[in-house]
Amino acid sequence: MNNRITTLILTVALVFGLFALVPKLAGVRLPGNQQGYEPKQPIAYSHRLHAGELGIDCQYCHSGAKRSRHAGIPAASVCMNCHRFVAAPRSAVRAEELLAEEEGRQPGKVVSPEIAKIYTALGLGEDLLPDPNLTQQPIEWIRIHKLPDFAMFDHRPHLYAGIDCQKCHGPVETMESVRQVKTLSMGWCVNCHRDPYEAGIVLDKPQASIDCSSCHF
């Protein structure tokens, strides 16, 4: 008899406990959902500056998007296309020029500490030429947008369907450091695949498939 009462009390307590937790459960993310993930990257690269202010096309750097599954992270050599000539923000260069004028000397070379990291990675010397004495060290970016191994996402069909990068990656051009905006969950993918027009697809015949094997194989 005692046992039964104890069980009853425990069950009731459990049910009440669960009800009490429900409002809080809304804030709990399912395992694997990395929405809002914003790690500190090895170089404080600003998408706001490059993509937003300077208006560089996304695919200038992420050129894999139209050729491969992966959009890719640009090689350091791609950075060097500009940063061979741009070593520091204009404001810093201007400040140095003013200071040099004040002190009555030739302005020195200003290298932003963040941009210097690219030079270090590539093992470049003072003159920005490869220095055999320096070792090259690849830049280890922290991956943000990541799907599980059993989901095969391919950038190409989405790109050719005319979907904006921002549709999935959020307003990256406004971000100082990149953050995962969407859940990247299966439900989120499928909702768009179910009704491509809703997603603003411009093709005549959008072929978004909801077959499992579109992504899982």
Partner 1 sequence: MSENRYWKSVEERDSSLPRAGRSESEAPVALPIDRRGFLKASGFTVAGTLLVGCSRKPVEKAIPYLVQPEEIVPGRATWYASTCGGCAAGCGALVKCRDGRPIKLEGNRDHPFSQGGLCAVGQASLLGLYDSQRFSGPQLAGRQSGWDEVDQAVTGRIAEVTASKGRVRLLTDTVTSPTEQRLIDRFLRQFSDAKHVVYDPLSSSAILDAHQTTHGLRVLPRYRFGRADVIVSFGADFLGTWISPVEFTTDYRSGRNLDGDSPRLSFHAQLESRMSLTGSNADLRVILDPAEEGLALGRLAEKVAELAGTAYPGFAGTSSSVLEEATLDDLAERLWQARGRSLVVSASQSSRQQVLVNYLNQLLGAYGATIDLERPSMQRQGNDIALAELADELARGSVDLLLIQGVNPVYDLPLPGLAKAVEEAPFVVSFAASLDETAARADAICPEPHFLEAWGDCEAVAGVVSIAQPAIRPLRDTRSMMESLSVWLGEPKSALDLIQECWLEEILPRTSALSFRSFWDHTVRDGSALIAAEALEVSPFVISAVEPLGSVGQDEHFTLELYPTIGLLDGRHAHNPWLQELPDPVTKVTWDNYASLSPVAAADLGVGESDVVRLEVPGEQSFELPVYVQPGQHDRVVAVALGYGRLGTDRFHTAGPKWLQSKPTVDAGATVGVNAAPWTTLGKEGRGYRRSGVKVIPTGRTYDLASTQTYHFLSVPEKLAPTDGQDRPIIQEAVLEEYLEDRSAGAPHLHHFESDLWGEHEFDVHHWAMAIDLSACTGCAACVVSCQAENNVPVVGKDEVERRREMHWIRIDRYYRGDPTAPDTVHQPMMCHHCDNAPCETVCPVIATLHSSEGLNMQIYNRCVGTRYCANNCPYKVRRFNWFDYAHDDKLENLMLNPDVTVRDRGVMEKCSLCVQRIQEGKIVAISEGREVADGEIQTACQQSCPAQAIVFGDLVDPESRVSKIFGDPRHYVIFEELNVRPSVGYLRLVRNRPAITAGHVTEEQEDSHHG
User: Which residue ranges make up the site for partner 1 (CB under 8 A)?
Assistant: 31-32, 34, 39, 64, 66-70, 72-78, 121-122, 136, 138-143, 146, 148-152, 154, 156-157, 160, 207, 209, 211-214, 216-217
Going from the C-alpha of 79 to that of each of 45, 72, 147, 173, the distances in angstroms are: 11, 14, 26, 17
For 59-83, letters b (16+ CB in 10 Å) and e give: eebbbbbeeeeebeeeebeebeeeb
Least CB distance to partner 1 at residue 96 (A): 28
- 146/184 Cα distance (integer angstroms): 8
Residue 72 CB, nearest approach to partner 1 (Å): 5
Q: How far is the CB of 58 from partner 1 (least distance, A)?
A: 16
Nearest to 83 by CA among 44, 132, 116: 116
Cβ at position 157, least distance to partner 1 in Å: 5
CB closer to partner 1, 62 vs 88: 62
Whichever of 16 and 141 has its CB closer to partner 1, that residue is 141
* Minimum distance of partner 1 from residue 68's CB (angstroms): 4
How many residues are given for the chain? 217
For residue 206, the SS3 value is coil
With contact defined as beta carbons under 8 Å apart, do 112 and 92 qualify? yes
Residue 143 is given by DSSP the state P
CB 2 → partner 1: shortest distance, Å? 25
Closer to partner 1 at the Cβ: 100 or 151? 151
Shorter beta-carbon distance to partner 1: residue 92 or 142 = 142
Query: How far is residue 20 from each of residues 11, 12, 23, 28, measured CA to CA in Å?
Result: 14, 12, 7, 14
Q: Looking at beta carbons only, is 15 or 142 nearer to partner 1?
A: 142
When the beta carbons of 177 and 214 are compared against partner 1, the nearer one is 214
